[in-house]
A and B are shown apart, each in its own frame.
Chain A
Amino acid sequence: MSEPVKSRKKLSSLIYSEKARGVFAQILVTGGIAFIAWYLISNTFENLANQGIATGYSFLSLESSFGISEHMIEFTPADSYGRALMVGLLNTMKVSLLGIIFASLIGFVVGVSRMSKNWILSRIAAVYINLFRNIPVLLQLIFWYTLINNGFPSPKRALEVLPDVFLSNRGVLFPVPADHPAYFWMGVVFVIALAGVWLLRRWALARQDRTGQSFPYAWAGLALVIVSVFITYIVCGAPTEMSTPVLKGFNFKGGAKLSPEFLSLLIGLSLYTSTYIADIVRSGLQSVPKGQEEASTDLGLKPSQTLVHVVLPQASRVMIPPLTSQYLNLTKNSSLAVAVGYPDLVSLSNTTMNQTGQAIEAISIFMGVYLGLSLAISLFMNWYNKKMALVER
């Protein structure tokens, strides 16, 4: 007797339950999105099949047959499309990483100058910020590229600005130490020494907590790194042979080169992004109440200690989230490389897409890679943000 009543009650309670309605709405929305996605994807494949266009990612292992000017890993036209895309990814990461470093350094200096009491300095910083921020970055890239190509002399009349350092419209050439196993081991020791410095810092901070005695771990760590790397250099035979650029035929042979494509992209991205970073730095520093600085000075901290231990930690809390988005912007803007001929991921994907006709696959690869890169930067910056966040006890 009581059964139907109970079930009716259950049903009506489902309708009136906010939670049940919520779940139903979510199922409806998710189902709708899934249907649209399925429709688009199945349609795409049907159309591709109708036009006889190849699908799938098997093209990645085919021989690429095109040349790439700048590669951090070995690459010849006999290598595969997959390897070509890997070259592009590494080139993108190279220019993004260096761009982030330079943009941060320039941005920091300009941001601090902008707040300077020196009128001329602060005006110059203001003009710099407004100039480079308000010109589209693509135009800036093309400007730098054209400037280097037309403003610098031909290789035969290259400017030797320093001994064995040449400036020409083929880029900047400079001598580097010739290949030797010593450099590999120096790198290994460098990484080990860094780990040692980290341990040293932990020990020093722990001791300071315990006994109050401070230990200059920064200087000690620096000395540790320099001495250990130098000892490795001596032990491995202290190679002194240099690879210097020499004009042979058309071009310089030997030495290392920064191409006009790479330089214009790096300069353009760094200057453009640095203007945003400068304002972020300024807002960060201004957000720290003046009383903090005064209190710190009164407690007897030196100005450098005040900056490092009092002002910067508080300023960075304000700075990190917007800095993250600027770093992401710089990484994504590096895809403009195609305009100045730098072989980044997008440029090489475009070529691959065109030679194989598989646009969807190539685009899916580079979209996935940019998404991955951006998420990696976000994750790192979020972790750093959490670490720097105010710990309330």
Chain B
Amino acid sequence: MKSLKLIVGGTIAATAALSTFAMAGETVDSIKAKGYVQCGANTALAGFSAPTSEGKWEGLDIDLCHAVAAAILGDASKARFTPLTAAQRFTALQSKEVDLLARNTTWTLSRDTKVGLNFAGVNYYDGQGFMVAKASGITSATELDGATVCIEPGTTTELNLADYFRAQGMSFEPVVIENAVEAVQTFFSGRCDVYTTDASGLASYRQTAPNPDDFMVLPEIISKEPLGPAVRHGDEEFADIVRWTHIAMLEAEEKGITSANVDTFKKDSKDPGIQRLLGTTGDMGKALGVSDDWAYNIIKQVGNYGESFDRNVKAKLGLERGLNALWTDGGLMYPAPIR
């Protein structure tokens, strides 16, 4: 009986400890106090968040984290990364293990409400696709009836997949493996006929195949996947900073400001919009609770959105801007005014 009591007591304590003790102060205060931003990142998704062979993290999501660090602390290098699987990510954010989730996470209603997240914008517009072995002879997703499908658990991918096959009246057999890298390797080994995830992810994982040319991505895109950074619900101040960090990177691209020429703009520009952005006039930084040169730091140390996209997504995966182009180029990236 004694051991039973111990077990029950331990269970309750462990469950409660998953959450946190009392309010640890606002996220921004804790970031300033500890001197770095702790980001939840993908374990290995080239182009978005993956460690290099030297152990340095790189990618579009990683850049966003560095930008947040630049905005709050004035130093982009003050960002640390916690690699998280899809199934771990929300618990890690809820339990304050990380300050910010920049891990190609789809913005959905239930995540924005029940799961207790706040999405601070969309830094990549994506959609779910399918990858198959060329040898299978499949050319369209409508031929997939009865297929075995490898997926990562706890993703919108998993739900879209079931929805799509139900809508098409087709059957499938899921093979669900928690670690994305393991799941992809299982697909390459031939255990599954299909691997499915966001199209950007397919492009990224295809390159890790022993011979990428043996695999192809099917033309169908079966869902909308607006991927964006998320913070804990209830911390509006931090959500604002992340949101406007992303917008500042877009705004900089729209105005043609890059990490190379930002100093010239700061010195010479007579455009009031650029002066406000770079903090030479106005008090935009103060309104956010950071220094007035926040956007200057972001652009100088990380670059604008286009620079980040080109050196990560375009250079590593060969993907074009598409929906992720600025609105002025026919894309969906439309920064709200900084004023």
B174 touches A44 (CB 8 A): no
B116 touches A48 (CB 8 A): yes
What does the 1/0 interface line of A46-78 toward B look like (CB < 8 Å)?
Answer: 011011111000000000011111000000011
Q: How far, in whole Å, are A248 and B336 apart by their CA atoms in the complex? A: 54
Selected interface stretch from A33-41, A119-127, A233-241: A33-41
Q: B171 to chain A: closest CB distance in Å? A: 9
Is B287 interfacial (CB 8 A cutoff)?
no
Is A350 interfacial (CB 8 A cutoff)?
yes
A69 touches B173 (CB 8 A): yes
- From the candidates B11, B87, B186, B189, name the one contacting A354 in the complex (CB within 8 A): B87
What does the 1/0 interface line of B230-262 toward A look like (CB < 8 Å)?
Answer: 001110000000000000000000000000000
A359 touches B146 (CB 8 A): no
A341 touches B177 (CB 8 A): yes
What does the 1/0 interface line of A317-361 toward B look like (CB < 8 Å)?
Answer: 000000000000000000000111101000100110111111110
Q: How far, in whole Å, are A173 and B39 apart by their CA atoms in the complex? A: 46
A360 touches B15 (CB 8 A): yes
Q: How far, in whole Å, are A353 and B17 apart by their CA atoms in the complex? A: 17
Q: A207 to chain B: closest CB distance in Å? A: 42
What does the 1/0 interface line of A239-281 toward B look like (CB < 8 Å)?
Answer: 0000000001111010000001100000000000000000000
B154 touches A350 (CB 8 A): yes
Q: A37-B9, A68-B174, A248-B146 are in contact. Are A354 and B86 (CB under 8 A)?
A: yes
Q: How far, in whole Å, are A6 and B116 apart by their CA atoms in the complex? A: 63
Is A149 interfacial (CB 8 A cutoff)?
yes
Selected interface stretch from A99-107, A180-188, A363-371: A363-371
- From the candidates B113, B174, B175, name the one contacting A52 in the complex (CB within 8 A): B113
Q: Which residues of B have CB within 8 Å of A251?
A: 146-148, 173, 193
- From the candidates A43, A145, A347, A356, name the one contacting B176 in the complex (CB within 8 A): A347
B189 touches A355 (CB 8 A): no
Q: A68-B174, A69-B174, A340-B177 are in contact. Are A77 and B166 (CB under 8 A)?
A: yes
Q: How far, in whole Å, are A48 and B173 apart by their CA atoms in the complex? A: 35
Q: Which residues of B have CB within 8 Å of A339?
A: 177-179, 182
**Chain A-chain B contacts (Cβ-Cβ < 8 Å), number:** 167
Is A170 interfacial (CB 8 A cutoff)?
yes
Is A154 interfacial (CB 8 A cutoff)?
yes
Main secondary structure of the interface of B (DSSP, over half): mixed
Main secondary structure of the interface of A (DSSP, over half): helix
Selected interface stretch from B156-164, B216-224, B290-298, B327-335: B156-164
A357 touches B16 (CB 8 A): no
A351 touches B234 (CB 8 A): no
Is A130 interfacial (CB 8 A cutoff)?
no
Q: Which residues of B have CB within 8 Å of A353?
A: 87, 91, 154
- From the candidates B13, B19, B111, B177, name the one contacting A37 in the complex (CB within 8 A): B13
Q: B27 to chain A: closest CB distance in Å? A: 12
Please report B residues at the A interface, Cβ cutoff 8 Å: 4, 7, 9, 11-13, 15-23, 86-87, 89-91, 94, 110-111, 113-117, 136, 145-148, 153-155, 158-159, 161-163, 165-166, 172-179, 182-183, 186, 189-191, 193, 232-234
In the complex, 8 of the A-B residue pairs with CB atoms within 8 angstroms, ordered by the A residue number, are: A47-B22, A66-B158, A67-B158, A145-B186, A150-B190, A169-B191, A340-B177, A356-B115
